[in-house]
Amino acid sequence: MGTTTAAGADRVDAVVVGAGLSGLYQLYRLRALGLRVAVFEAGEDIGGTWYWNRYPGARCDVESMSYSYSFSPELDQEWEWSERYASQPEILRYIHHVADRFGLRGDVTLRTRVTSAAYDGTTHTWRVSTDTGRTVTTRFLVLASGCMSAPKDPGIPGQNSFTGEVLHTARWPSEEVSFTGKRVAVIGTGCSGVQAVPVIAERAAALTVFQRTPAYALPAHNRPLLGAETAELKARYPQFRQAQRLSRGGTVFEPPTGSALAADEAERTAAYEAAWGSGLLSGLLRTYTDILTDEKANATVAEFVRSKIRSIIDDAETAEALSPRTFPFATKRPCLDTGYYAAYNLPHVMLVDLRATPIETITPRGILTTEEEHALDTIVFATGFDALTGSQLAIDIVGSAGVSLREKWADGPRNHLGLMSAGFPNLFTVLGPLSPSVLSNIAVSLEQQVEWITDCIAHLIGRGLTEIDATPEAEEAWGAHVAELADRTLYPTAESWYMGSNVPGKPKVFLAYTGGLDRYRAVCDAAARNGYSGFVLS
């Protein structure tokens, strides 16, 4: 028998998986349609990415006044960001504020992981099951389970044998972790490792960083925000938000017009210096049109970053080991750092280059490389995620023909517009594969997708329809289009999580839409305007 609150009901109109930024906004929108919505969240609290990734130094790499919801002008005016780039605790406070302000918590069930979902074609409903034994029947199912939320198994021999403390940046405990007097290892030098290293270095007795592939890390130039500048932006927030929505990546900037190769060296260096000084993650990418499409143009930026690394690091051998040379600039996501390279000048911070001396095994006492055993008290895994598809495939989802999503996506994700996969009616994804998601300011992307999904559901309800499904033809065409656009760039040349290369056995497919959020929005809007072309409604 049904109950009155959606959180405890066994029959609802919509189930949303995940109570991060996407899931909470989806809840807000669907509730505004008058639907009964149940949100399931695996964490002990809301916040998603910003709940789980509470490692020291965790901070957003998009400016705080851009990386926030835009749907409420009142919220925009009342919330005060304290820093140019918000720290994890501040973003989590913001998410809590939003949940309270809009009364969202009541429909969220915490500590509950969705484990399976099966579609019943006779009743046009999903039967959703959780690890707490709940089963809920729903017409609509929205996966807002995150694009970087399934931590990757580091897959290092002996990793469970270590007797000291083991931490993962993406599963950081909520209680204080003390590094005082400890010998600490960080494995992994992607954005998480790059942010954590300088902060752990301040606290630990000794820090050893185990690096397999060096990253391109750019200075954040983070600083407190001045009241006058937030007031100035707030005065024109509506226009700013609109410009974000219409922009290519969800941040506002003047697009470049010229080729890096058409500029002479002095001109290029001046442009790169200005970009380096801007503290923007995409500053260098915005200098010229061909940084991501032309190897030679890209090489000029890559060498510029390496020259910066050499200028910061005292020891030439360490500087060289930290210099990325195996993939073009930005084909793996660059990192925004505060004091990362300078940390290696500290006497108690050491770099182990795993290309030269790979890890043989983790032992009860520490980490054994081909060269030596490093005795340790704490190991921090900053080894990344099974990105974009991981959180969806962690759920056993079975569609209308009895085929599972895992079977269907065995050779890579297939969907239309990154939103729906054929054979899985009424199942929508926010920030999923083959959408702009990770290549954009996700705060803007998620609003666009949530709003499209909400409008679609309203359209169905308004016309007394019960089902929407992507057509196999549209899905085929979308997959080919996404791949074709990616192939025009340098992205597929790198072994990256964008390509699924970081997870053994994962199909190597470029997982994001490179055409830009502006173009993507136009395609999605056109599909809706044309009566949801590429979809079958019944």
**Which of residues 502, 514, 515, 517 is near ligand N01 by CB under 6 A?**
502
Minimum CB distance to ligand N01 smaller for 212 or for 519: 212
Q: Indicate whether 340 belongs to the interface with ligand N01 (CB under 6 A).
A: no
Q: Indicate whether 187 belongs to the interface with ligand N01 (CB under 6 A).
A: yes
Q: Indicate whether 193 belongs to the interface with ligand N01 (CB under 6 A).
A: yes
Q: How many CA atoms lie within 13 A of 478 on its CB side?
A: 30
Q: How far is the CB of 210 from ligand N01 (least distance, A)?
A: 6
Stretch of 171-179, 190-198, 301-309, 365-373 lying at the interface with ligand N01 (CB under 6 A): 190-198
String marking each residue 413-442 x if it binds ligand N01 according to CB under 6 A:
-------------------------x----
8 A C-beta contact, residue 39 and residue 19? yes
Q: Indicate whether 188 belongs to the interface with ligand N01 (CB under 6 A).
A: yes
For residue 151, list its beta bridge partners. 385
Closest CA to 183 of 348, 353, 401, 41: 348
Q: How many residues bind ligand N01 (CB under 6 A)?
A: 27
What's the residue count for the chain? Answer: 538
Q: How far is the CB of 189 from ligand N01 (least distance, A)?
A: 4
Phi then psi dihedrals of residue 435, to 5 deg: -125, 170
Identity of the residue numbered 433:
P
Q: How far is the CB of 508 from ligand N01 (least distance, A)?
A: 14
8 A C-beta contact, residue 46 and residue 24? yes
Residue 417, both tokens: 């517009």
Q: Indicate whether 192 belongs to the interface with ligand N01 (CB under 6 A).
A: yes
Report 307-336 residues binding ligand N01 (CB under 6 A).
333, 336
Q: Indicate whether 212 belongs to the interface with ligand N01 (CB under 6 A).
A: yes
Tell me which residue has its CB nearest to ligand N01.
Answer: 190
Stretch of 25-33, 127-135, 147-155, 341-349 lying at the interface with ligand N01 (CB under 6 A): 147-155
Q: Indicate whether 52 belongs to the interface with ligand N01 (CB under 6 A).
A: no
State the SS3 of 164-233: CEEEEHHHCCCCCCCCECCEEEEECCCHHHHHHHHHHHHHECEEEEEECCCCCEEECCCCECCHHHHHHH
Stretch of 8-16, 57-65, 265-273, 418-426 lying at the interface with ligand N01 (CB under 6 A): 57-65
For residue 138, list its beta bridge partners. 12, 126
Q: Indicate whether 189 belongs to the interface with ligand N01 (CB under 6 A).
A: yes
**Do the strands 335-337 and 217-219 form a parallel or antiparallel pair, or are they unpaired?**
parallel
**Which of residues 24, 30, 92, 148 is near ligand N01 by CB under 6 A?**
148
Return d(Cα 397, Cα 126) in angstroms, integer.
10
* 251: CB partners within 8 A, 6+ apart: 62, 63, 66, 244, 282, 441, 444
Q: Indicate whether 300 belongs to the interface with ligand N01 (CB under 6 A).
A: no
Binding site for ligand N01 (CB under 6 A): 59-61, 148, 154-156, 187-193, 195, 212-213, 333, 336, 354, 382-385, 438, 497, 502
